[in-house]
Structure 1
Amino acid sequence: MQLLECTLEIDDIDSFVSQLGEVSDRHDVTIQAFDARYVADRTHLEHALELADRAIDRGENIARDRAVEILLYAAGRRQIDDALEMGVGEGRQRAVMLVDGGSTGNEGGQESSEAAALETLVELEAVVDTEPTLESPAEETLCSFFEITDAEREATDASLVALVRERVALLEVDK
Protein backbone atom coordinates (compact mmCIF):
# COMPACT_ATOMS: atom_id res chain seq x y z
CA MET A 1 0.00 0.00 0.00
CA GLN A 2 1.18 3.45 -0.91
CA LEU A 3 -0.44 6.80 -0.18
CA LEU A 4 -0.53 10.03 -2.14
CA GLU A 5 -1.18 12.96 0.16
CA CYS A 6 -2.30 15.91 -1.90
CA THR A 7 -4.61 18.83 -2.50
CA LEU A 8 -7.33 18.18 -5.06
CA GLU A 9 -9.45 20.62 -7.04
CA ILE A 10 -12.29 18.55 -8.47
CA ASP A 11 -14.65 20.18 -10.97
CA ASP A 12 -16.62 17.05 -11.89
CA ILE A 13 -16.64 14.19 -9.38
CA ASP A 14 -17.93 11.64 -11.91
CA SER A 15 -15.10 12.47 -14.30
CA PHE A 16 -12.55 12.28 -11.48
CA VAL A 17 -13.83 8.87 -10.32
CA SER A 18 -13.70 7.68 -13.93
CA GLN A 19 -10.07 8.81 -14.19
CA LEU A 20 -9.22 6.92 -11.00
CA GLY A 21 -10.84 3.82 -12.49
CA GLU A 22 -8.77 4.16 -15.67
CA VAL A 23 -5.53 4.51 -13.69
CA SER A 24 -6.54 1.57 -11.53
CA ASP A 25 -7.23 -0.63 -14.56
CA ARG A 26 -4.09 0.46 -16.42
CA HIS A 27 -1.79 -0.38 -13.50
CA ASP A 28 -3.78 -3.29 -12.02
CA VAL A 29 -4.13 -1.62 -8.62
CA THR A 30 -6.96 -0.54 -6.34
CA ILE A 31 -7.32 3.20 -5.76
CA GLN A 32 -9.51 4.91 -3.19
CA ALA A 33 -9.51 8.66 -2.53
CA PHE A 34 -10.35 10.06 0.90
CA ASP A 35 -11.02 13.52 2.28
CA ALA A 36 -7.98 13.83 4.59
CA ARG A 37 -10.10 15.30 7.40
CA TYR A 38 -11.67 11.85 7.93
CA VAL A 39 -8.40 9.89 8.06
CA ALA A 40 -6.72 9.58 11.46
CA ASP A 41 -3.35 8.47 10.12
CA ARG A 42 -1.67 5.93 7.85
CA THR A 43 -2.37 3.02 10.20
CA HIS A 44 -6.10 3.83 10.00
CA LEU A 45 -6.00 3.07 6.26
CA GLU A 46 -3.65 0.10 6.65
CA HIS A 47 -6.07 -1.45 9.13
CA ALA A 48 -9.07 -0.78 6.88
CA LEU A 49 -7.24 -2.37 3.93
CA GLU A 50 -6.32 -5.44 5.97
CA LEU A 51 -9.89 -5.95 7.22
CA ALA A 52 -11.40 -5.35 3.78
CA ASP A 53 -9.08 -7.91 2.19
CA ARG A 54 -9.84 -10.41 4.94
CA ALA A 55 -13.60 -9.97 4.39
CA ILE A 56 -13.14 -10.43 0.63
CA ASP A 57 -11.00 -13.55 1.14
CA ARG A 58 -13.69 -15.03 3.38
CA GLY A 59 -16.51 -14.09 1.02
CA GLU A 60 -17.98 -11.82 3.70
CA ASN A 61 -17.53 -8.54 1.86
CA ILE A 62 -20.34 -6.00 1.77
CA ALA A 63 -19.40 -4.35 -1.54
CA ARG A 64 -18.56 -6.00 -4.85
CA ASP A 65 -15.73 -3.52 -5.53
CA ARG A 66 -12.51 -3.76 -3.46
CA ALA A 67 -12.07 0.04 -3.36
CA VAL A 68 -15.59 0.46 -1.96
CA GLU A 69 -14.98 -2.30 0.60
CA ILE A 70 -11.86 -0.43 1.77
CA LEU A 71 -13.93 2.76 2.04
CA LEU A 72 -16.56 0.97 4.13
CA TYR A 73 -13.96 -0.30 6.58
CA ALA A 74 -12.13 3.02 6.74
CA ALA A 75 -15.44 4.72 7.55
CA GLY A 76 -16.55 1.99 9.96
CA ARG A 77 -19.90 1.89 8.15
CA ARG A 78 -21.95 -0.87 6.53
CA GLN A 79 -23.92 1.48 4.26
CA ILE A 80 -22.09 2.77 1.19
CA ASP A 81 -24.06 6.04 1.17
CA ASP A 82 -22.94 6.74 4.75
CA ALA A 83 -19.31 5.87 4.01
CA LEU A 84 -19.19 8.15 0.96
CA GLU A 85 -19.03 11.17 3.28
CA MET A 86 -15.41 10.14 3.87
CA GLY A 87 -14.64 10.27 0.15
CA VAL A 88 -13.67 13.28 -1.89
CA GLY A 89 -16.15 15.63 -3.52
CA GLU A 90 -16.23 18.56 -5.88
CA GLY A 91 -14.18 21.59 -4.96
CA ARG A 92 -10.80 22.09 -3.34
CA GLN A 93 -9.80 19.74 -0.53
CA ARG A 94 -6.90 18.10 1.22
CA ALA A 95 -6.96 14.44 0.31
CA VAL A 96 -5.15 11.15 0.56
CA MET A 97 -5.30 8.50 -2.15
CA LEU A 98 -4.65 4.88 -1.23
CA VAL A 99 -3.02 2.78 -3.95
CA ASP A 100 -2.68 -0.95 -3.42
CA GLY A 101 -1.64 -3.70 -5.78
CA GLY A 102 -3.16 -6.44 -3.67
CA SER A 103 -1.54 -9.81 -3.39
CA THR A 104 -0.05 -10.29 -6.83
CA GLY A 105 2.39 -12.91 -5.54
CA ASN A 106 5.25 -10.75 -6.81
CA GLU A 107 6.18 -8.16 -4.18
CA GLY A 108 8.49 -6.31 -6.56
CA GLY A 109 5.81 -6.25 -9.26
CA GLN A 110 3.20 -5.00 -6.80
CA GLU A 111 5.43 -2.15 -5.63
CA SER A 112 6.28 -1.30 -9.23
CA SER A 113 2.59 -1.17 -10.18
CA GLU A 114 1.78 1.01 -7.18
CA ALA A 115 4.65 3.38 -7.95
CA ALA A 116 3.60 3.66 -11.60
CA ALA A 117 0.01 4.35 -10.57
CA LEU A 118 1.18 7.06 -8.15
CA GLU A 119 3.17 8.73 -10.93
CA THR A 120 0.08 8.73 -13.12
CA LEU A 121 -2.15 10.08 -10.32
CA VAL A 122 0.20 13.01 -9.68
CA GLU A 123 -0.26 14.04 -13.32
CA LEU A 124 -4.06 14.25 -13.07
CA GLU A 125 -5.41 17.74 -13.59
CA ALA A 126 -7.31 17.56 -10.28
CA VAL A 127 -4.06 17.14 -8.30
CA VAL A 128 -3.11 20.72 -7.47
CA ASP A 129 -0.25 19.94 -5.10
CA THR A 130 1.39 17.02 -3.34
CA GLU A 131 1.90 17.81 0.32
CA PRO A 132 1.47 16.10 3.68
CA THR A 133 -2.21 15.96 4.64
CA LEU A 134 -2.16 13.47 7.51
CA GLU A 135 0.31 15.23 9.81
CA SER A 136 -2.36 16.79 12.06
CA PRO A 137 -5.69 14.95 12.29
CA ALA A 138 -8.89 17.01 12.25
CA GLU A 139 -9.95 15.97 15.75
CA GLU A 140 -13.39 17.60 15.73
CA THR A 141 -14.29 16.05 12.37
CA LEU A 142 -13.01 12.62 13.41
CA CYS A 143 -14.91 12.71 16.72
CA SER A 144 -18.11 13.75 14.98
CA PHE A 145 -17.88 11.27 12.09
CA PHE A 146 -16.85 8.30 14.24
CA GLU A 147 -19.21 9.31 17.08
CA ILE A 148 -16.45 9.57 19.69
CA THR A 149 -17.75 11.57 22.62
CA ASP A 150 -15.85 13.79 25.05
CA ALA A 151 -16.90 11.42 27.83
CA GLU A 152 -15.38 8.48 25.97
CA ARG A 153 -12.12 10.35 25.43
CA GLU A 154 -11.99 11.35 29.11
CA ALA A 155 -12.64 7.77 30.24
CA THR A 156 -9.60 6.33 28.47
CA ASP A 157 -5.95 7.09 27.93
CA ALA A 158 -6.25 5.76 24.34
CA SER A 159 -5.37 8.22 21.61
CA LEU A 160 -7.95 9.52 19.16
CA VAL A 161 -6.21 7.47 16.45
CA ALA A 162 -6.65 4.31 18.55
CA LEU A 163 -10.34 5.09 19.08
CA VAL A 164 -10.84 5.57 15.32
CA ARG A 165 -9.09 2.25 14.61
CA GLU A 166 -11.42 0.63 17.17
CA ARG A 167 -14.43 1.92 15.18
CA VAL A 168 -12.93 0.44 12.01
CA ALA A 169 -12.50 -2.92 13.76
CA LEU A 170 -16.05 -2.81 15.12
CA LEU A 171 -17.45 -3.02 11.58
CA GLU A 172 -16.21 -6.61 11.58
CA VAL A 173 -18.11 -7.32 14.80
CA ASP A 174 -21.30 -5.61 13.59
CA LYS A 175 -21.66 -7.99 10.63
Structure 2
Amino acid sequence: MIHILEGTAFIDNLDEFLHKIKKISKERNITIQALDADKLAGEKHIRFAVEKAINSFKTGRNIANDLDKEIMLYASGTRQINRAIRLGVHKGENNIVLVAVGEDHAIPGLDELFNEIKPVHVLQYNESKKKAIMQAFGITKEEIEAVGNEKIPEFVLERVALVDVIK
Protein backbone atom coordinates (compact mmCIF):
# COMPACT_ATOMS: atom_id res chain seq x y z
CA MET A 1 0.00 0.00 0.00
CA ILE A 2 1.13 3.52 -0.80
CA HIS A 3 0.27 6.27 1.69
CA ILE A 4 0.87 9.95 1.09
CA LEU A 5 1.03 12.63 3.76
CA GLU A 6 1.35 16.22 2.58
CA GLY A 7 1.76 19.44 4.47
CA THR A 8 4.20 21.99 5.77
CA ALA A 9 6.99 21.44 8.24
CA PHE A 10 9.77 23.47 9.74
CA ILE A 11 12.88 21.28 9.89
CA ASP A 12 15.34 22.68 12.37
CA ASN A 13 17.77 19.76 12.21
CA LEU A 14 17.69 17.91 8.88
CA ASP A 15 19.88 15.01 10.02
CA GLU A 16 17.67 14.46 13.06
CA PHE A 17 14.49 14.55 10.96
CA LEU A 18 15.87 12.06 8.42
CA HIS A 19 17.16 9.83 11.21
CA LYS A 20 13.68 9.78 12.75
CA ILE A 21 12.18 8.73 9.42
CA LYS A 22 14.79 5.98 9.05
CA LYS A 23 14.14 4.77 12.60
CA ILE A 24 10.36 4.59 12.09
CA SER A 25 10.89 2.82 8.76
CA LYS A 26 13.13 0.22 10.31
CA GLU A 27 10.97 -0.36 13.41
CA ARG A 28 7.76 -0.74 11.37
CA ASN A 29 9.32 -2.55 8.39
CA ILE A 30 8.06 0.10 5.97
CA THR A 31 9.66 2.54 3.56
CA ILE A 32 9.24 6.27 4.04
CA GLN A 33 10.61 8.93 1.72
CA ALA A 34 10.38 12.68 2.36
CA LEU A 35 10.19 14.89 -0.73
CA ASP A 36 9.99 18.60 -1.52
CA ALA A 37 6.38 19.11 -2.63
CA ASP A 38 7.36 22.26 -4.53
CA LYS A 39 9.14 20.05 -7.07
CA LEU A 40 6.38 17.47 -7.48
CA ALA A 41 3.74 17.75 -10.20
CA GLY A 42 0.86 16.22 -8.27
CA GLU A 43 -0.32 12.96 -6.78
CA LYS A 44 -0.20 11.14 -10.12
CA HIS A 45 3.51 12.02 -10.36
CA ILE A 46 4.43 10.59 -6.98
CA ARG A 47 2.23 7.48 -7.27
CA PHE A 48 3.66 6.70 -10.71
CA ALA A 49 7.22 7.09 -9.40
CA VAL A 50 6.55 4.87 -6.37
CA GLU A 51 4.93 2.18 -8.52
CA LYS A 52 7.89 2.26 -10.92
CA ALA A 53 10.33 2.00 -8.01
CA ILE A 54 8.47 -0.95 -6.47
CA ASN A 55 8.33 -2.68 -9.85
CA SER A 56 12.06 -2.18 -10.39
CA PHE A 57 12.73 -4.16 -7.20
CA LYS A 58 10.25 -6.87 -8.17
CA THR A 59 11.95 -7.33 -11.54
CA GLY A 60 15.50 -6.95 -10.24
CA ARG A 61 16.16 -3.82 -12.31
CA ASN A 62 16.58 -1.43 -9.40
CA ILE A 63 19.37 1.13 -9.43
CA ALA A 64 19.52 1.84 -5.68
CA ASN A 65 19.91 -0.66 -2.86
CA ASP A 66 16.97 0.74 -0.88
CA LEU A 67 13.39 1.39 -1.96
CA ASP A 68 13.41 4.89 -0.43
CA LYS A 69 16.33 5.90 -2.65
CA GLU A 70 14.75 4.22 -5.67
CA ILE A 71 11.58 6.23 -5.09
CA MET A 72 13.63 9.43 -5.09
CA LEU A 73 15.40 8.41 -8.32
CA TYR A 74 12.12 7.78 -10.11
CA ALA A 75 10.41 10.83 -8.63
CA SER A 76 13.27 12.99 -9.92
CA GLY A 77 13.30 11.33 -13.33
CA THR A 78 17.00 10.52 -13.18
CA ARG A 79 19.40 7.66 -12.49
CA GLN A 80 21.86 9.96 -10.73
CA ILE A 81 21.50 10.17 -6.95
CA ASN A 82 23.31 13.52 -6.80
CA ARG A 83 20.56 14.99 -9.03
CA ALA A 84 17.77 13.07 -7.31
CA ILE A 85 18.54 14.45 -3.85
CA ARG A 86 17.48 17.89 -5.11
CA LEU A 87 13.91 16.63 -4.61
CA GLY A 88 14.61 16.00 -0.94
CA VAL A 89 13.55 18.16 1.97
CA HIS A 90 15.83 20.83 3.39
CA LYS A 91 16.52 22.72 6.59
CA GLY A 92 13.93 25.37 7.33
CA GLU A 93 10.34 25.73 6.11
CA ASN A 94 9.24 22.95 3.73
CA ASN A 95 6.23 22.04 1.70
CA ILE A 96 6.66 18.34 2.25
CA VAL A 97 5.30 15.07 0.97
CA LEU A 98 5.93 11.88 2.93
CA VAL A 99 5.43 8.71 0.94
CA ALA A 100 5.09 5.52 2.96
CA VAL A 101 5.07 2.06 1.43
CA GLY A 102 4.07 -0.98 3.43
CA GLU A 103 1.86 -4.04 3.53
CA ASP A 104 -0.82 -2.65 5.87
CA HIS A 105 -3.75 -0.47 4.90
CA ALA A 106 -2.89 1.82 7.83
CA ILE A 107 0.82 2.32 8.23
CA PRO A 108 1.81 2.58 11.89
CA GLY A 109 4.41 5.16 12.81
CA LEU A 110 3.21 7.97 10.61
CA ASP A 111 1.43 9.45 13.64
CA GLU A 112 4.85 10.25 15.08
CA LEU A 113 5.59 12.37 12.02
CA PHE A 114 2.15 14.03 11.99
CA ASN A 115 3.28 16.05 15.01
CA GLU A 116 5.94 17.71 12.88
CA ILE A 117 3.81 18.19 9.75
CA LYS A 118 0.88 20.55 9.53
CA PRO A 119 -1.56 18.93 7.07
CA VAL A 120 -2.01 21.25 4.09
CA HIS A 121 -2.61 20.44 0.41
CA VAL A 122 0.77 21.15 -1.17
CA LEU A 123 1.13 18.26 -3.61
CA GLN A 124 -1.16 19.39 -6.44
CA TYR A 125 0.56 21.07 -9.40
CA ASN A 126 0.01 24.80 -9.69
CA GLU A 127 1.62 27.72 -11.49
CA SER A 128 3.82 28.63 -8.51
CA LYS A 129 5.70 25.33 -8.98
CA LYS A 130 6.38 25.90 -12.68
CA LYS A 131 9.91 27.34 -12.47
CA ALA A 132 11.20 24.83 -9.88
CA ILE A 133 9.73 21.88 -11.78
CA MET A 134 11.04 23.06 -15.14
CA GLN A 135 14.51 23.37 -13.63
CA ALA A 136 14.39 20.07 -11.72
CA PHE A 137 13.22 18.09 -14.75
CA GLY A 138 15.03 19.94 -17.51
CA ILE A 139 11.82 21.06 -19.21
CA THR A 140 12.65 23.69 -21.78
CA LYS A 141 10.80 26.87 -22.72
CA GLU A 142 10.56 25.47 -26.24
CA GLU A 143 8.68 22.43 -24.95
CA ILE A 144 6.27 24.67 -23.05
CA GLU A 145 5.76 26.96 -26.05
CA ALA A 146 4.94 23.93 -28.22
CA VAL A 147 2.26 22.42 -25.96
CA GLY A 148 1.42 24.92 -23.20
CA ASN A 149 1.89 25.26 -19.44
CA GLU A 150 -0.90 22.82 -18.61
CA LYS A 151 1.23 19.96 -20.02
CA ILE A 152 4.02 20.37 -17.44
CA PRO A 153 2.73 17.49 -15.25
CA GLU A 154 2.70 15.26 -18.33
CA PHE A 155 6.31 16.20 -19.13
CA VAL A 156 7.22 15.18 -15.58
CA LEU A 157 5.48 11.79 -15.98
CA GLU A 158 7.40 11.32 -19.22
CA ARG A 159 10.70 11.99 -17.41
CA VAL A 160 9.75 9.43 -14.72
CA ALA A 161 8.91 6.84 -17.40
CA LEU A 162 12.21 7.49 -19.19
CA VAL A 163 14.20 6.35 -16.15
CA ASP A 164 13.47 2.77 -17.27
CA VAL A 165 14.52 3.48 -20.82
CA ILE A 166 17.92 4.96 -19.88
CA LYS A 167 18.83 2.06 -17.62
Contact 1:23 1:121 in 2 (8 A): no
Give TM-score, length-normalised by structure 1: 0.87
- Contact 2:89/2:96, CA 8 A, preserved across alignment: yes
Instruction: Name the residue aligned to 2:19.
Output: 18
Per the alignment, residue 122 of structure 2 pairs with 133
- Give me the whole-angstrom Cα distance separating, in 1, the residues matched to 2:141 and 2:66: 35
Q: Return the letter of the residue paired with 1:129.
A: K
1:32-43 equivalences under 5 Å are 32-43=33-44
2:105 matched residue in structure 1: 111
Partner residue in 2 for 1:31: 32
Paired position in structure 2 for 1:151 = 142
The answer on 1:170 being equivalent to 2:159 is: no
2:91 alignment counterpart: 90
Cα separation, 2, equivalents of 1:22 and 1:68:
15
* Superposed counterparts of 1:69-84, under 5 Å: 69-84=70-85
**1:53 aligns to what?**
54
Give the number of aligned pairs.
Answer: 163
SS at match of 2:38: helix
CA distance in 2, matches of 1:74, 1:117: 23
Shift of 1:71: 0.3
- RMSD of Structure 2 on Structure 1 (CA): 1.5
Where does the alignment leave 5 or more consecutive residues of structure 1 unmatched? Answer: 105-109
Report the Cα offset of residue 40 of structure 1: 0.4
How far did 1:22 drift?
1.2
Unaligned runs of 5+ in 2: none
- Identity over aligned residues, as a percent? 34
Q: Secondary structure at the match of 2:147?
A: coil
Mapped partners of 2:15, 2:31: distance in 1:
17
Residue identity opposite 1:132 in structure 2: H
**What does the per-residue CA deviation read over 1:70-129, in whole Å, with 9 as the maximum and x for residues that have no partner?**
00000011111110010001111111111111xx4xxxxx112x2x23222102xxx252
Q: TM-score, normalised by structure 2?
A: 0.91
Which residue is equivalent to 1:66?
67
SS state of the match for residue 63, structure 2? coil
Residue 150 of structure 1, CA deviation = 1.8
CA distance in 1, matches of 2:7, 2:109: 15
Local SS of the residue matching 1:111: coil
SS in 2 for 1:165: helix
Q: Distance in 2 between matches of 1:86 and 1:136?
A: 15
- Residue 98 and residue 128 in structure 1: after superposition, are their counterparts in 2 closer, same or farther (change >3 A)? closer
| Partner amino acid, structure 1, of 2:7 | C
Classify the secondary structure of the residue corresponding to 1:97.
strand
